[in-house]
Amino acid sequence: MTERTTLVRNVAVNAGLPYATYLLLSYQGVPTVPALAAGAVFPVGAIAAGFIRERRVQALGVIVLVATLASVLAALYFTSPFLALAKGSLFSALFSALLLASLLARRPLVFHLATMGQDTTERQHSEALWNAEAGYRRMMRHITLAWAAAFIVEGSLRLALIPLLPIAVFLPASEAMSLGCIALMAAWSWRYGSRQMARIDLTPD
């Protein structure tokens, strides 16, 4: 299975199926919290299956799972309609802050997410690249910064839409924006990372 096929599969399982489940159950009259919780079955199942099969987890699945669980918990505990609707923007803000803060650490968050799903040999190769290649370190920091910027924009747009859209319209639109942002950034990261890695590989020792 190629990396692109794997990416498409991960986006479908971790983003497309939960969103489709949410829309279907919402259309059937199921409340928001149970609908979101039902959609979480797919990323949870994918993470469990991947761990059982390969003894590793997929970073995209973890991100979507955390976002879904945050939405469910926020919907349970927030009684204000505005706060309940703003829960996605809150997650985006916190995730962006975590990404930006990780740029001050020895290694950015994206590096840890990228190596999360690697086996021992692949992880050792990534560690060697980090230690030896300035271009690789720069690539990881650029991707981290891009994800932070994307989630800041996405969260701000969703926050601005709250007073403009009816709740019935905003809820699916908000979920679509969140999952769409993750899918687009994952695709961009794969494409950008592939190009940068090709340049690193072509660089003479």
Residue 142: pLDDT over 90: yes
Per-residue tokens: 109: 């968050």
CA 113 from chain centre, in angstroms, equals: 10
Q: What average pLDDT score do residues 108-129 get?
A: 82
Cα gap 87→153, rounded to integer Å:
15
Q: Which amino acid is at 133?
A: E
Long-range interactions of 15-23: CB distance < 8 A, separation 24+: 15/60, 15/64, 15/179, 15/182, 15/183, 16/179, 17/42, 18/42, 18/43, 18/64, 18/68, 18/179, 19/175, 19/176, 19/179, 22/172, 22/175, 23/172
Using 50, 70 and 90 to split pLDDT, how confident is the model at 157? Answer: very high
Return the C-alpha torsion angle 158, 169, 62, 34, nearest 10.
Answer: 140
State the pTM of this model. Answer: 0.66
Question: Is the per-residue pLDDT at 145 higher than 90?
Answer: yes
DSSP state of 164: T
Would you give the distance in Å from CA 36 to the centre of its chain?
A: 16
* Cα gap 66→61, rounded to integer Å: 9
Greater confidence (174 vs 101) lies with 101
